[in-house]
């Protein structure tokens, strides 16, 4: 679990990333990111009502969170990152979502290629 300082939770910060940040879209997830002036990266997972009912939205958030956690990737410090679930994430398994996340994060330059 991320410590409290590594979770993006303030509405002002969300709006800042949405308005001024960059984005990369994958098959199942859209990655929005913006540089911050902090020594850590702050992360948030979002699923809108377009994804489905509350069960589907919660599963989508859990799936994205677990995909990031199990990959053990080192995300570059100094970014605010929002992962937005797409409707196509419904019914997918963790490995499929992981591949999409890695591809999106590499294209953003938020992780190092091995």
Position 1 confidence tier, pLDDT thresholds 50, 70, 90: very low
The pLDDT assigned to 19 comes to: 94
Task: Please state whether 91 falls in left (phi above 0), alpha (psi between -120 and 50) or beta.
Answer: left
Quick: pLDDT tens for 12-56.
Answer: 999 999 999 999 988 999 999 999 989 989 999 999 999 999 999
What angle, 0 to 180 degrees and rounded to 10, lies between the N-to-C axes of helices 54-71 and 94-108? 70
Q: Which residue has the higher pLDDT, 9 or 36?
A: 36
Residue 28 is classified by DSSP as S
Q: Which residues pair with 22 in a beta bridge?
A: 33
The tens digit of pLDDT for each residue in 56-109 reads 999 999 999 999 888 877 888 999 999 999 999 999 999 999 999 999 999 988
| Residue boundaries of the structural domains of the chain | 4-103
> Could you confirm whether domain 4-103 is CATH 1.10.10.410?
no
Report the C-alpha gap between 69 and 101 in whole angstroms.
12
CB 20 within 8 A of CB 34: yes
């Amino acid at each position: 679990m991320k410590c409290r300082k590594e979770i993006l939770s303030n509405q002002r910060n969300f709006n800042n990333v949405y308005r001024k940040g960059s984005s990369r879209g994958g098959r199942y997830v859209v990655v929005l990111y913006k540089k911050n002036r902090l020594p850590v990266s702050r992360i948030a997972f979002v699923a809108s009502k377009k994804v489905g009912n509350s069960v589907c939205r919660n599963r989508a958030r859990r799936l994205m969170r677990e995909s990031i956690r199990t990959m053990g990737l080192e995300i570059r410090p100094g970014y605010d990152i929002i992962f937005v679930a797409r409707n196509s994430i419904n019914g997918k398994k963790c490995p499929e979502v992981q591949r999409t996340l890695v591809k999106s994060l590499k294209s953003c330059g938020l992780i190092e290629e091995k």
